[in-house]
A and B are shown apart, each in its own frame.
Chain A
Amino acid sequence: MSRALIAILAAIVVLPLVVRPAIASEIWIFAIFGLGLNLLLGYTGLLSFGQSTFFGSAAYVAGWLLKHYAINVFLALGIGVAVGAASAALVGYLCVQRSGLYFIMLTFALNQLFYFIAYQWTGVTGGEDGMPGIPRPDFLGIDFGEPLPYYAFVSALFLLSLWIMKRIVESPLGKILQAIRENEVRAEALGYDTARFKLAAFVIGGAFSGLAGVLYAMLFGIVPLEAIGFVTSGNVVFATLIGGSGSLYGPVIGSFVFIWLSESVSTLWARWPLLLGVAFVIVVLFFRGGVVEAWARFSAWRERKWRSSRQTG
């Protein structure tokens, strides 16, 4: 077992003892969301500013079915994944036609389009009031209504997501996406239909976002309008960059930092986003690889110091 995996397992066990289980659950849910974004941002080099489109769409559709038809919890998750992937296929198909700034603006504009649909369609989404009353159905006698069983459920799904993402980034697809990030013209000249590969990254990322969206809706029992808003899209980019977009575990650490700061510090100090802003500036200026890179550099520095003290001592 790798050290990263041991650290994550330990965090899963310790976290509900330190913070409220709802926050602990939110951390892993947001981490799943971040894993999906990072396939685009970190591996393919595509900055999507519209990930909440997939997160929110899945939350609304699965939430509505849970509420009105009391569907099975796994069916709800499956539908969420499918809605996330399908909406990402639609949005991604349009966005991969353009690159650079135009690409980013398209992801943002389409996100706004979905947002206003949710805002206007009050009969289904509840508009500004959100869609409340989403149940967490029992499964095989386990009461997911209780915070801890639900936390365990979320943690297991997070580990499954992490494993799947690890397989994907270590597969040929993962390497091809990185090749597109490094040099799209050459990747195309080698015989890869880069638009199709970028679309694949969107669809996979959308599936992860959809899973996170449904888990989020069940966690809080409501789909707030913000779930499909641009602030949510921005937050997941923010968290992923702080954690480190260059590595598999970056978004997990980013989610941890982001949710923990927003949920615990915000009760003490209303201006907490200032802290995040400072953290973000530090990352952009000094640690482009986020917390993951900062940690790697710190470890290297400590080792050098340890070696030199042994030589002199």
Chain B
Amino acid sequence: MAILETDRLTKSFGALAAVSGVSLAIEAGTLHSIIGPNGAGKTTFFNLLTGALAPTSGTIALDGRDITGTPAHRVPHLGLARSFQRTNVFPAFSLFDNVWVAAFARAPSRKGIAWRSADRYPEARERALAALADVGLAGKADRPVREISHGEQRQLELAIALAASPRVLLLDEPAAGLAPEETKKLVALMRGLKGRYTIVLIEHKMDIIMSVSDRVSVMHFGSLIAEGTPAEIQKNAEVRRAYLGGVAA
């Protein structure tokens, strides 16, 4: 059954339809990739799913329930978490505080929020440490963000999303700007996360897409032009024309 489903989702900026009539069903437990050239509307699509932007028309359903128009700060509580294409963390914080803030947002109880010491929420603390351990940053919990490398910041970006204990994880180009070895580590990490979460992945690097995805959807000028298994997408002529352009032809 589809855990996340959009129906003719559209977002227009003036005359430009950045996302145009996208109907997509994400099956629970799968890793579903969305690919497409720059400007195809992939990130805008994520912004619609997370409530950062309101759609012009169309609906979004989570577990069959219509969640269209839910404000951005409510969406994480429905079990949807995202990472950002450009690292979007809390620069003056330690790595631990970065993930702790994400974990506490989903704490079962905010009792004593203005009075009790922040150290005295063991559940949030454990979830924060587990998220750092998941991405391999447990040893650097107390380091400030400015002291870690770009690759590690990308891992932190992912850890923040994980700390929110989501059911659906929306990852926006987690490999952006990574060196080849770092990319390999990330692919291994994605394989580990697969199955534990339903993952929607926006990515440019075809080798990542082809090796981790269960299904692939292709966006072009705001519309979906193809969907299938990685093998099917690779063979699809229309995709080759749109996405790979002259290189493959």
Contact = CB atoms under 8 A, between A and B. Distances in A.
A185 interface: yes
Contacts, number: 81
Categorize the interface residue count of chain A. 20 to 34
Nearest to B116: A171
B91 interface: yes
Contacts of A188: 72-73
User: B interface, how many residues as a size bin?
Assistant: 35 or more
Contacts of A185: 88
Interface string A32-45: 00000000000000
A149 B52 CA distance: 56
Contacts of A200: 114
B174 interface: no
Interface string A185-206: 1111111111000001000100
Nearest to A174: B118
B52 to A, nearest CB: 7
Contacts of A182: 90-93
A194 B73 contact: yes
Contacts of A2: none
Contacts of A174: 118
A183 interface: yes
A307 interface: no
Given A179-B101, A190-B101, A173 B113 contact: yes
Nearest to B103: A190
Given A172-B110, A191-B74, A191-B77, A179 B93 contact: yes
B49 to A, nearest CB: 12
A183 B88 CA distance: 8
Contact of B105 (A168, A178, A192): A192
B88 A186 contact: yes
Given A178-B92, A183-B89, A190 B102 contact: yes
Contact of A173 (B76, B105, B114, B160): B114
A256 to B, nearest CB: 26
A15 B115 CA distance: 31
Nearest to A196: B73
B50 interface: yes
Main secondary structure of the interface of A (DSSP, over half): helix
Contacts of A170: 117-118
Nearest to B145: A182
A304 interface: no
Interface string B59-100: 000000000000111111100001010001111110001001
Contact of A191 (B114, B115, B164): B164
Given A190-B164, A191-B76, A176 B101 contact: yes
A167 interface: yes
A228 B189 CA distance: 58
A242 to B, nearest CB: 21
B121 interface: yes
B45 interface: no
A20 interface: no
Contacts of B118: 170-172, 174-175
Interface in A150-185: 167-168, 170-176, 178-179, 182-183, 185
A189 B161 CA distance: 10
Contacts of A186: 84, 88-90, 160
Contact of B114 (A168, A183, A192): A168
9 contacts: A170-B118, A171-B117, A173-B114, A178-B90, A186-B160, A188-B72, A190-B102, A190-B160, A204-B114
A-B pairs with the 7 shortest C-beta distances?
A191-B76, A191-B105, A182-B90, A173-B114, A190-B105, A193-B73, A179-B101
